[in-house]
Amino acid sequence: MSGDLNLEPARQVMAADGIGLSLIELRGADAHLLLSVIDADCAECVLPRHMLEPVVLDLLRPANPDLRAVHIVDPRESPEPDPTPAT
Amino acid sequence: MTMIYLPDSAPGPEMSALSASPPSLAGARIAVLDNGKPNAGVAMVRAANTLASRTGATVSLVTKKGPQGQSANAAEPMARDIFERLTDEADLVITGAADCGSCTAYSVQDAIELERAGIPAVVMTTTMFEPITTTLSANFGLADTRRLVMPHPIGGTDEATLHQWADAATDQLISLFTTGA
């Protein structure tokens, strides 16, 4: 798969839940996307990543028929920084 | 680069089919399962009342989905006691509103659980979230969930408009309950 990825079909729906999507990298037919929270008023509204990835894939496929998989980097899953200073 | 594809995968969801659709709604008991999203109850209760008046059904139960029906978290499945009340007190269920990511996921999950128990269940969603409802239905094992698609948004729309939308959806609601489509 080559060229840009059209994210608009997914962005419109995700925006309704207050989240954004941006492309990190297109690796072959796999898209690696970054989720960003742009409105946290309904934090529980946003699907967990394992449900979100197939939904985003289905939303993107009509405009990107060669796309095979979507991998989302979800900042909600990032571990809290260790407050203990390094020694 | 060499790509290696594994022939195995995680088990898929348990596949289901719609429960039997009644040929007529006369005498049927309709329940509304409200996930607490803004205006969900307004739209679904109106749809249920209009459906009842058109068909000779009755609205037997309006409840939120949390324990004892006292409250609801749209991002959780219905409480066990609410499931038991629905299967005891209703023949048909309208559930929703599926107008955010997680509320769509759990409204679809609730509807599938009710269908597996023999209760036809319609998910009220919106044009914006219809694609998500469709994808999650398939991913959860029942691609053909009964989906009533309303204009978007339900939350933030005035009551008179919601009543108009609900009334206008009655023919589709009858069809969903009696034919599944």
Give me the pLDDT at residue B6, please: 67
Helix (H) or strand (E) run with residue A21 in it: strand A19-27
Residues of B in Cβ contact (< 8 Å) with A59: 131-132, 135
Q: Give the residue-averaged pLDDT of B107-111.
A: 98
Give me the pLDDT at residue A79, please: 59
- Chain A contact present for B136, CB below 8 A: yes
- Chain A contact present for B10, CB below 8 A: no
Q: Give the residue-averaged pLDDT of B88-104.
A: 96
Locate tokens 């009696």: which residue? B178
Chain-chain contact of B132 with A55 (C-beta, under 8 angstroms): yes
Contact B165, B139 (CB under 8 A): no
Give me the pLDDT at residue B7, please: 67
Chain-chain contact of A54 with B103 (C-beta, under 8 angstroms): no
pLDDT at B171 over 70: yes
- Chain B contact present for A15, CB below 8 A: no
Chain-chain contact of B73 with A54 (C-beta, under 8 angstroms): no
Residue range B23-81, pLDDT digits in tens:
999 999 999 999 999 999 999 999 999 999 999 999 999 999 999 998 888 989 999 99
Q: In what order do the strands lie in the sheet with A30-37?
A: A19-27, A30-37, A69-73
Q: In what order do the strands lie in the sheet with B58-64?
A: B58-64, B29-34, B92-98, B121-126, B146-150
Give me the pLDDT at residue B126, please: 97
- Which residues share a beta bridge with A19? A37
**ipTM of this complex prediction, to 2 decimal places:** 0.79
Nearest 5°: CA angle at B113, between B129 and B134? Answer: 25
Beta strand B92-98 with B29-34 is: parallel
Q: Secondary structure of chain B in the HEC alphabet?
A: CCCCCCCCCCCCCCCCCCCCCCCCCCCCEEEEEECCCCCHHHHHHHHHHHHHHHHCCEEEEEEECCHHHCCCCCCCCCCHHHHHHHHHHCCEEEEEEECCHHHHHHHHHHHHHHHHCCCCEEEEEECCCHHHHHHHHHHCCCCCCEEEEECCCCCCCCHHHHHHHHHHCHHHHHHHHHHCC
